């Protein structure tokens, strides 16, 4: 048998086996379980993440922080050091005899250094806006 024919035959068997496994997997209840699990995880991640939008307008550097609903009754800690803005969210949930804690945090690099004492904050629904005076162009 020519070695090339052997390689072609091996590839063909490998492809057939892979196709058979895929068909078995997609026809089984295991596929639906995995899809359901993936949807649950995706939904949880979508509702458990901090998104930040940074803009410079009206002479201010503004960071709009979208706080997930599950953390809106918890503690929010904001810290600005040099060019970094750090936000931490903590939530405590009590139910009967049990208690659970959840937390999220995120740090972003700002375009220039800021001073925490110049920070202003405002809250509108689930968006926390943090602002700093914009850096002068000649600095």
Answer yes or no: is pLDDT of 54 > 60.
Answer: yes
Q: Which CATH number fits domain 49-133: 3.30.420.130, 3.30.300.20, 3.50.50.60, 2.60.40.790?
A: 2.60.40.790
Name the β-bridge partners of 98. Answer: 95
pLDDT (mean) for 91-99: 79
What is the per-residue pLDDT across 3-40, written as a single tens digit (0 to 9) for each? 555 555 555 666 787 777 777 666 667 667 766 766 66
The predicted model scores a pTM of 0.59
């Amino acid at each position: 048998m020519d070695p090339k024919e052997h390689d072609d035959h091996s590839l063909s068997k490998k492809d057939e086996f892979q196709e058979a496994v895929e068909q078995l997997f997609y026809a089984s209840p295991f596929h639906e379980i995995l899809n359901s699990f993936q949807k649950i995880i995706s939904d949880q991640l979508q509702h458990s993440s901090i998104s930040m939008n940074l803009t410079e307008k009206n002479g201010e550097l503004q960071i709009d922080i979208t706080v997930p609903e599950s953390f809106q009754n918890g503690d929010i800690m904001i810290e600005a050091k040099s060019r970094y803005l750090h936000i931490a969210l903590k939530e405590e949930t009590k139910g009967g005899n049990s208690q659970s804690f959840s937390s999220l945090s995120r740090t972003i690099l700002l375009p220039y250094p800021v001073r925490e004492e110049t920070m202003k904050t405002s809250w509108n629904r689930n968006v926390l806006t943090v602002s700093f005076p914009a850096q002068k162009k000649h600095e």
